[in-house]
Amino acid sequence: MARVAAIDCGTNSIRLLVADVTTSDDGARWLRDVHREMRVVRLGQGVDATGELHTEALARTRAALVDYTGVLRRKGTERVRMVATSATRDAANKDEFFAMTREVLGVEAEVISGDEEARLSFTGAVSDLDGADGPFLVSDIGGGSTELVLGDWDGVRGEVAAARSVDIGCVRLTERCLRSDPPTGREVEDAVRVTREVLGEAFDAVPVDRAKTWIGVAGTVTTLVAAARGLPRYDPAEIHLARLTTDQVRETTAALLAMDHDERAALGSMHPGRVDVICGGALIVRALADHLAERGVTELVASEHDILDGIAFSQV
C-alpha cells in the first residue's frame, strides 16, 4: 500500500486527492480516499480573450496550492503528482504558473499529452464499473475543453480505443456566448451552434456509435445530476453512479437556463464557483445526450471518479 497525492489543475478548478492505493497479487488495484477537496480558482479567467493567465487567477491558484501542501504534510503523503490541463497549454505567460507550482509544491507540474490525459481519465472513470457493460464512452467536460474517450475495461486495466479533446468547456462557452443573466434565447442558440460545431471534431475522431455505456465525469455532470435529483446539498455518495435519462438532461438544462444567478446560487447542491458557468456546461452535456440518443445510448452515468483517480493510480 502506498499513500499518494494527485492534483488536477484545470481551467475552472484545482482538485486534490490523497489516497491509499493497494495492489493485489493479480495486479488489481483499488483506492481508499484519505482526503478529497476541490477549489474553484478560475485559472482560465480571460485566457480565451487575452492569451495570458490573469494575475488574480494565478494568485488564487497559489493560495489553493499553499493550503494543499499543508494537507500533504499532515497526511504523510509519500508521493505527489500534479497535472495541469487546458488553460496552461495556451497561455503566453505559462512559465509564471510553472515556476509558482514548483516553488510552492516542490514538484514539477506536468502538461500531459492528449493520449495520457485520455488514459488517466478513462482509468479513473471506469474503475467501479463492470467491464461487461463496455465499450464505455467517457466524457470529461472541463472549463476550457471537453474530452471524449472510448475504450474497454477488464477490471484491472483499461484499453483506450479512441480519444479526442476539443476546445469547448463550461467557462469558454459561457465567456464566448452566454453574457446575459439568465441567457437570452439568441445567446443559447449561438452557444448550441458553437457547441455542435466544436463537438463535431470529436465525433469525427471517436466512433461513439460503438459505445454501450456513457459515463460523465467532472463538476458539470455531477452538478447537473444533483440539480436533477433536487438534492438539498452536494452528496458524492448520492451522485456516484447515478443515472440520468436523455429527457432528464434536457429538462434540467432547460430549468437552469431559465434561472438567474441568485436562483442558481440558491440550489443547495450548487458550488458557488459553478453558479456562473453551469449553464454553459449543461448545454454541452445536452448536446452530447442528443447525439448519443440518436445512436441508442439514452442514459448518462455520473462518476465521481475521474482523471484525479487515474493520476493516483499512475503512481504505483
For the chain (316 residues), the mean pLDDT of every run of 10, in chain order, is 90 90 69 89 82 91 96 95 79 90 92 79 86 92 89 81 91 92 95 95 95 93 94 91 96 97 94 91 97 96 90 84
Q: 294 and 164: one domain?
A: yes
> pLDDT value at position 5?
96
Domain assignment present for 200: yes
Residue that has been written with the C-alpha cell 474553484 in this structure? 40
Range of the domain at 216: 129-303
C-alpha cell at 83: 497535472
Question: Considering 111, 139, 154, which residue would you say is the last residue of a domain?
Answer: 111
Counted domains in the chain: 2
What phi, psi does 88 have (nearest 5°)? -80, -20
Q: What CATH number did the domain enclosing 28 receive?
A: 3.30.420.40
| Residue 177's CATH number | 3.30.420.150
Residue 79 covered by a domain = yes
- Boundary residue ending a domain (58, 79, 111): 111
User: Which runs of E-coded beta strand occur in 212-280?
Assistant: 213-217, 243-245
Interatomic CA distance for residues 90 and 143, integer angstroms: 14
Residues 86 and 232 in one domain: no
Q: Any idea which residue has 505559462 for its cell?
A: 94
Residues 140 and 278 in one domain: yes
> CA separation (Å) from 146 to 23, 138, 151, 173?
31, 10, 17, 11
Among 111, 146, 164, the domain boundary falls at 111
Q: Examine the domain organization and report whether 217 and 171 are in the same domain.
A: yes
**CA–CA gap between residue 93 and residue 53 (Å, rounded):** 6
All three cell numbers of 62, joined, read 497559489
136 and 248 together in one domain: yes
Q: Residue 316 domain-assigned?
A: no
Residue 165 sits in the same domain as residue 87: no
Q: Report if residue 134 sits inside a domain.
A: yes
CB 172 within 8 A of CB 48: yes
Q: Are 151 and 122 in contact (CB under 8 A)?
A: yes
223 and 149 housed in the same domain: yes
Residue 107 shares a structural domain with residue 135: no
Regarding whether 89 and 203 lie in a shared domain, the answer is no
Same domain, 81 and 205: no
> 54: Cβ–Cβ under 8 A, 6 or more apart, which residues?
45, 46, 47
**104 and 137 co-located in one domain:** no
85 and 137 both lie in a single domain: no
Does residue 50 sit within a domain?
A: yes
The grid coordinates listed for 244 are 440520468
**C-alpha–C-alpha distance, residues 94 and 101, integer Å:** 11
141 is a domain residue = yes
Q: Is residue 122 part of a domain?
A: no
